[in-house]
Amino acid sequence: MRTKQETLQAVIDCGIVAVVRGESAEPVMKAIAAVVKGGVTIIEVTFTVPGALEIIRQLAKALPDNVVLGAGTVLDPQTAKNAIEAGAQFIVSPSLNLDVIRTAIDAGKAVMPGALTPTEVVTAWQAGADLVKIFPITSMGPGYLKDLHGPLPKVQFIPTGGIDLSNAADYIKAGAAALGVGSSLIDKKLVAAGDWAALTDRAKKFTEIVKEARAK
């Protein structure tokens, strides 16, 4: 079992958290296998997925050691506790819930609560957040992240929402420690078509973009 610090380092090293949503377990599992093959080894199964808890439980047993599994859309401490017991190594929320943060901390797991305003960011950080998920970043853009990063250089940000191949590099350059990527990586049409090779290719492109952006 990883330590909390090892989990965080793996997230930052990869730079991409695949946000997985779906309608049923089988295609979700196949989509995860496809992106892992492409080098995205940080997987967030959201609780919007039917049977998410059981999927997390199955994945925790089946995924290779280099893959870090987390739970997303965690809205309350009981869900956080259930996810951790099922095998989640990190907890992600779309909003700021101090009880969720505390639950993850007490369990020794990494936690990434959602925030948008500077006040929410600082509140999350002071409460013990390991990374702060800036959500939704879609309409704000990389400039907003850069503005936050200026006065808050010690906060590690993971912007999420609307990040795709065209803007991923801009978010890394703006100060993101990692990126939360959903539909532009786990594309619903590709999943429906069973085009796992295309998902693997997208994962490769995202990881390459992160590496190149960090090198500049």
How far is 107 from 102, CA to CA, in rounded Å? Answer: 9
How far is 75 from 48, CA to CA, in rounded Å? Answer: 11
Number of other CB atoms surrounding residue 127 within 10 Å: 17
Q: Which residues are catalytic?
A: 44, 133
CA end-to-end distance (rounded Å), the chain: 34
Determine whether 27 is exposed, middle or buried from the number of CB atoms within 10 Å of its CB (0-12, 13-18, 19+): middle
How far is 77 from 62, CA to CA, in rounded Å? Answer: 26
